[in-house]
Structure 1
Amino acid sequence: MTGLWVAIGAVAVVLAFGGYRKLTDGRAREAALDEPTLGPTELGTPLGSTATFVQFSSKVCAPCVATGRLLSGLTAQRDDVNHVEIDGEERLDLVREFGINRTPTVFLLDPDGAIRYRFVGPSRKAEFVDALAELQAA
């Protein structure tokens, strides 16, 4: 009987964790006001005149590939928005500085390099488009 309760408890924990991830993955969160900025020096490329998506990825991350394609397609339609992909393994300094715990993690920067939104996990195009529209409206 004890084994049954252990199995039920394990299933409950897995379901709760899965529900939490479903609610939080890929959602735009406004960044903290005290986060450091990212500029052309750190990124190795100019910032977009309206916004820049900075994507932290890893080599063995399937959602990172999909996110990269989505952001590349989104930014290819606009001259004022850039997309920069950073390999987290090569830029551990930035990973540590910004507390990145999983990939993909995407920052949406304003024209001054301030992080305005943070996306953790796979995101949908609508999440990126909505955050970009909110940034432009501000």
Structure 2
Amino acid sequence: MSTGAWIVVAAVVLALGLGLWRAATDGRFRGTRAVRRPGADTGPGPDSMPAASLPGADLVAAVGATLGERATLVQFSSAFCAPCRATRRVLDEVTGIVEGVAHVEVDAEHHLDATRDFGILRTPTTLVLDAAGAEVTRATGAPTRDQVLSALARV
């Protein structure tokens, strides 16, 4: 085989590996990352902070919504994102099933500061906030109904 053919084979194998990895991790909820506000000190953790000062609570209030009694599903989305529409349907379905859970959709393009503060790299990204507004877990990509229900069971 010529060098060009080996390059094509290597590119196909690499693309296949990347595609399989992305399919396996898309929509899976994993640990949360600490949200650090610019100029914030390393004071007390979220457990000892009042709800109004938690970044999740501030974000929900900024988009004109309220936190759910049990949990809040915050979806970062963008206008031309097809998986965002599917995620919206799934999260709306879950809020109809589980009492005390609210769904808040945030347009990532119109809330760039929040997008940066929360470390959102792609849409859709779903954050699960507890009743106080602290981030519990997050998923990038379109989660399934069962994945969302499983994440809510941990709240």
Determine if the TM-score, normalized by the shorter chain, exceeds 0.5.
Answer: yes
So what's the TM-score if we normalise by structure 1? 0.91
What residue number does 1:35 align with? Answer: 35
Gaps of 5+ in 1: none
* 1:99 Cα deviation from its structure 2 partner: 1.3
Question: Structure 1: which amino acid aligns with 2:118?
Answer: F
8 Å Cα contact 2:77-2:106 kept in structure 1: yes
Report how many residues are paired: 134
Q: Percent identity?
A: 43
CA distance in 2 between counterparts of 1:70 and 1:26 reads 11
CA distance in 2 between counterparts of 1:127 and 1:95 reads 23
Superposition pairs for residues 1-138 of structure 1, below 5 Å? 1-32=2-33, 34-35=34-35, 37-39=55-57, 40-135=60-155
* 1:78 Cα deviation from its structure 2 partner: 3.9
Q: CA RMSD in A?
A: 1.3
What residue number does 2:49 align with? Answer: none
* 1:79 Cα deviation from its structure 2 partner: 4.0
Greater radius of gyration (CA): 2
Q: Secondary structure at the match of 1:72?
A: helix
